[in-house]
Amino acid sequence: MVHDVLNVVPRLQILRRVPRQYWHYLPLQVMRRHQCIVIGGEAGCLTVAIADCRRSHVVAYLRLLTGCAIFPVQVDPIRIRLLIKRVERIRPARYRLLRQSALYRPLALHAMVAFFHAYSDS
């Protein structure tokens, strides 16, 4: 069930940096395409900064990809792009190469298993 996220998504005015511990939760391609970045988390729940909260399908996609509940917060699109560029610049090239292979990402494996499980149920 998808709710109207425009009415329930809080807006985060100030976001200067993203802690390094959250950089690996989403691939850079996903961050760029959907203009979102993980900025925090607890057990089973991730806080995700999203530029355009009208695209509620992004929250559902991130939930499937990560296997975690998603708490979205709206952040200025310019700020999101800046944060993503900072992650791209600072993230080691070696780490980037390892993360490009989908088979090595636990989140991608979780998404594939969830997809096949949903497909086999129908």
Q: What is the pLDDT of residue 1?
A: 41
**pLDDT tens over the chain, length 122 residues:** 444 444 567 777 787 888 888 888 888 889 999 999 999 988 889 999 998 877 778 898 999 988 889 999 999 999 999 998 988 887 665 555 555 554 455 666 677 777 777 777 65
Is residue 3 domain-resident? no
How many domains does the structure of the chain reveal?
1
pLDDT of residue 111: 73
CB 69 within 8 A of CB 6: no
On whether residue 107 sits in a domain, the answer given is: yes
11 within domain boundaries: no
Query: Quick check: is 13 in a domain?
Result: no
On whether residue 10 sits in a domain, the answer given is no
Whether residue 115 lies inside any domain: the answer is: yes
CATH code for position 84: 3.30.300.160
Q: Where in the sequence is the domain holding 115, given as residue range(s)?
A: 20-121
